[in-house]
Amino acid sequence: MSANILADVAKALLSGSIKVVDLTAPLGPNTPVLYLPPQFGKNTPSVKVHEISQYDENGPFWAWNWLELGEHTGTHFDAPSHWITGKDLPGNTTDTIPPQAFVGPVNVIDRSKESAANPDYLLTVESIKEWEAEHGEIEENSWVVMRTDWYKRNGSTETFLNADENGPHSPGPTAEAIEYLVSKKIMGWGQETIGTDAGSAGGMNPPFPAHNLMHKAGRYGLASLCHLDQLPAKGAILIAAPLKFVKGTGSPIRALALVTK
């Protein structure tokens, strides 16, 4: 039976009835990175690409580079060890997380209209329950992501962070929404902004609840996702595998979704 299931998936991939959707932003020197206020500590560096050889005297038949970048750059995966609330949990780094966590069903909560009208939009428990009433209950060990179409701003740091003298303005969840999702034992939470929290999350209780509460529960985060507008509310499979960094707190990923046509 299980062999037949995989055979059917393979046939569907070959026939094109299952489409692979790329949920990943381009990664390079122009990738927007998060800038924290000085009181929060050091910032992650921009991506740097260093040439080793380019079919020349340093390597006549090959081209290759070495990279300089932060773990939490571009479309990336947050492990529990990324936050102080998850630092003592077992299996909390990218090299120790069970690979079963990297592949699973995904629930896509579309709040793109609300976010277009209000860049500070916050997803509430009531809004999640409204979505469940329409599309079905969020299952244990499934991913939950919020579509805002924010990825369309990813062309520059200015538009992506959307900051002014009062701080960044970008959508995200309330603390109560994250508590509700944690109570449902989801695999993790993701969104299209530069991090898994709203721009205003530093002033919430607790601060940065998507990080604080998800990682406290041993759950995971996905940030800077793209093209969630190509996914259905339910029915897609998310593949989000971090590099197996030893003691890694996170990793850039090539996030993919399997969607039936």
What is the structure's pLDDT at 1? 66
Instruction: Note whether 75 and 25 are within 8 A (CB).
Output: yes
The answer for 13, left when phi > 0, alpha when psi is -120 to 50, beta otherwise, is: alpha
What is the structure's pLDDT at 233? 98
Q: What is the pLDDT along the chain (261 residues), one digit of tens a residue?
A: 677 999 999 999 999 999 999 999 999 999 999 887 777 788 999 999 999 999 999 999 999 999 999 999 999 999 999 999 999 999 999 999 999 999 999 999 999 999 999 999 999 999 999 999 999 999 999 999 999 999 999 989 999 999 999 999 999 999 999 999 999 999 999 999 999 999 999 999 999 999 999 999 999 999 999 999 999 999 999 999 999 999 999 999 999 999 998
The dihedral over CA atoms of 31, 36, 41, 45, expressed in degrees to the nearest 10, equals 10
Contacts of 147 (CB under 8 A, 6+ apart): 108, 109, 110, 111, 112, 192, 228, 229, 231
What is the structure's pLDDT at 164? 94
Question: Which value, in Å, is the radius of gyration of the alpha carbons in the chain?
Answer: 19
CA–CA distance, 219 with 99 (Å, rounded to integer): 13
| Residues linked to residue 64 through DSSP beta bridges, in sequence order | 53
Instruction: Note whether 29 and 47 are within 8 A (CB).
Output: yes
In 239-261, which positions are buried (b, 16+ CB within 10 angstroms) versus exposed (e)? bbbbeeeeebbbbbbebbbbbee
**DSSP-assigned letters across all residues of 76-91:** EEE-GGGSGGGTTSTT
Residue with tokens 């009181």: 39
Of 48, 13, 41, 6, the C-alpha closest to 27 is: 48
What is the structure's pLDDT at 110? 98
The token pair at 35 is 């800038």
Active site residues: 82
Q: Are strands 172-173 and 122-123 parallel, antiparallel or unpaired?
A: parallel
Q: What angle do CA 148, 153, 157 make, to 5 degrees?
A: 130
Strand boundaries in the chain, DSSP class E? 18-22, 48-56, 59-68, 76-78, 103-110, 122-123, 143-147, 163-164, 167-168, 172-173, 188-191, 220-223, 236-239, 250-252, 256-260
CA–CA distance, 177 with 180 (Å, rounded to integer): 5
Instruction: Using alpha carbons, list the distances in angstroms from residue 4 to 10, 100, 130.
Output: 10, 20, 36
